Amino acid sequence: MKEDIHNIKNVRTWIILMFIFISLLLFYTWCRVQCVQVGYEISKAANIYQKRVTRHNNLEIEHARLKSPERITRIAKDKLGLIMPTAKQMIIIP
């Protein structure tokens, strides 16, 4: 009788230990999956950031090209028919 009670206690102890062990394994696996998922999200965000930096740099170059004095002078002469003013046409304001 005592042996049966002792065996039942041993079985319960082993079941509890196995449950704890399996729970810890599942928790560890979940943590690793989350870690990998966050790594993928960081990589994706870094790629998006790099693309935006490249786009920003390209837009800055385009902006500098569009506002260059040579381009503006050419458009003023060719499309608008403007000419550089002579010294007699200029009025100096003190």
- What residue ranges do the domains of the chain occupy? 2-78
Put simply, whether the predicted model's pTM sits higher than 0.75 gets the answer no
Digit-coded pLDDT (tens) for 11-27 = 999 999 999 999 999 99
Q: What are the tens digits of pLDDT across the range 41-81?
A: 999 999 999 999 999 999 999 999 999 999 999 999 999 99
Cβ atoms of residues 56 and 50 within 8 Å: no
- Give the tokens for residue 25: 């394994």
Give DSSP secondary structure letters for 30-51.
Answer: HHHHHHHHHHHHHHHHHHHHHH
> Which two three-digit tokens encode residue 48?
């998006």
